[in-house]
A and B are shown apart, each in its own frame.
Chain A
């Protein structure tokens, strides 16, 4: 069952990313949303409107933090200020778990602001494990690592991406944010069967699942988060739920963002898969609230 120690035994259902174009709708209409995911770095400032908005959201909704620049796989030393501010934010949001990507993006203090893929080597395993452990120690909440979409592979790789992911999460004893859209994108870009990847994941470590849309070009797919989820990705999601059980699920929509209702309705499609595996206790809780 996917309420596990990697998501603090949470019962989160379907959430969406908190995005600026939806602020007015959320504050005026107060829609029922199970939870919001925030990009941590957008709220790691000192004060002002972003923190005011966040505090208003926290008054009414559950929030989970998702980071984009921890760069667990970067070989050079991280910025201690980043971790300090992240911890401050963790205290503010009360996020039950926190995620960031299995990627690198900075070197010698210069930031690319991209999620660059790692060479799947033992050196990268060891470095990434060290960084994930450090984050877990400092933040004192479960950390989940997310598989990224990638457009390049490395000559030096010594194992498959899923083998690399498994080595990292087992050694760091951390959770997985399983992005089924990213598996699909990478499977096309790297010409592998996405179900082989999905079936190799240790289901008991999956803390959360991401779904999203992408853009297909002639020779590759980009993870643009600007479309609805396509059927092959829903098929992967169905298999993920079959393996992992009832798992917190989040739709990412970051570009050409449609109305709040359109985004939320797209996310709620996940319920057709989740309902079948919903724990009895959650169903009873919901019934009690409805009565």
Chain B
């Protein structure tokens, strides 16, 4: 019988399409790919059976491996989101996200890079907790970036002496600035604190165990501005004011110093007489923490 080999690229596209098709409810391989092709037909065309496993069953092993691996990796980075929503809602969200955004990076570190943005546009996956869930997802992704992003050389006193109204700065690469609708950093810290307690009493919670949605007590919506950054290889959450957020984001966008200050105090409730004092303190803190770097570096 003549047999024409499938070109390698086509074979890999077909195997990848099946492998990345979401599993059935009982963690088996679906009969159809996301674009409606028969997984059984693809498996039988491509995969040789052996005495114990059919073509379908052999390909199913890779299908399971893919989903177990990526779901586990994503849950590791978005643990508080999972805790907030509960495992049932989170799992549906995670599968939908990973189906929409398979990783385009060689490292699993970047698997969740688009999750906050994706979740913001898909309220149906988080229901009444959607706004809070987006905040939590943004904090958790900011953590990943603060953890291992580059560290630029901060401004030195000699640089500061040359600064004028027209100067520009670059913000530290591991600094992430978030404007949130909830004080969701408290929730993330609470989850971490609770998990550490559980870990010390007998190991980590299994990310594949069923988890009910978190009971929320006392968490009310309130505009919150947060800096997530790194000092000495540790990640910190630092609450900042709306004005600080405005100035820092303007600087990050490349605005001149004077323009950034003006933008930061737009609609500010801080009395004009108090602004200079605040500014002195903020700039002192930011530069001491290494958040401000030379624009050309």
Contacts and interface: CB of A to CB of B under 8 A. Distances in A.
**A–B direct touch in complex (beta carbons closer than 8 A):** yes
Interface of A: 41-42, 44-52, 69, 74-76, 79, 81-82, 104, 106-114, 116, 119, 121, 123-124, 127, 151-158, 189-191, 219-220, 222
Contact of A156 (B3, B19, B105, B109): B3
Given A76-B9, A123-B5, A156-B5, A45 B58 contact: no
| Top 3 A-B residue pairs of the complex, sorted by shortest distance between their CB atoms | A46-B150, A48-B148, A75-B9
Contacts of A153: 47-48, 50, 58
Contact of B66 (A48, A51, A114): A114
Given A113-B70, A114-B69, A155-B48, A47 B107 contact: no
Contact of B148 (A51, A104, A113): A51
A222 B61 CA distance: 9
Interface residues of B, number: 50
B36 interface: no
Interface in B206-246: 230, 233-234
B274 interface: no
Given A46-B173, A111-B104, A191-B50, A151 B61 contact: yes
A156 B6 contact: yes
Given A42-B107, A47-B174, A107-B12, 5 more contacts: A49-B233, A52-B233, A81-B106, A110-B20, A158-B5
A178 to B, nearest CB: 23
B11 A154 contact: yes
Interface of B: 3, 5-9, 11-13, 15-16, 19-20, 45-48, 50-53, 55, 57-59, 61-62, 65-66, 69-70, 73, 102-109, 147-151, 173-174, 230, 233-234
B16 A46 contact: no
A220 B7 contact: no
Given A47-B148, A74-B12, A109-B104, A219 B52 contact: yes
A121 B48 contact: no
B76 to A, nearest CB: 12
Given A48-B148, A151-B62, A111 B19 contact: no
Contacts of B15: 116
A107 B52 contact: no
Contacts of A127: 8
Given A44-B107, A113-B69, A114-B69, A108 B13 contact: yes
Contacts of B65: 114
A48 B233 contact: yes
B50 to A, nearest CB: 6
Contacts of A47: 148-151, 174
Nearest to A126: B8
Nearest to B9: A75
Contacts of A151: 58, 61-62
A151 B102 CA distance: 23
Nearest to A39: B107
A180 B9 CA distance: 29
Given A41-B107, A152-B61, A48 B13 contact: no
Contacts of B52: 219-220
A45 B148 contact: yes
B8 A191 contact: no
Given A151-B61, A153-B50, A154-B46, A111 B106 contact: yes
Residue of A47, A82, A121 with most chain B CB atoms under a 10 A cut-off: A47
13 contacts: A41-B108, A44-B107, A46-B150, A48-B230, A74-B12, A79-B106, A104-B12, A110-B20, A110-B102, A112-B16, A112-B62, A151-B61, A156-B3
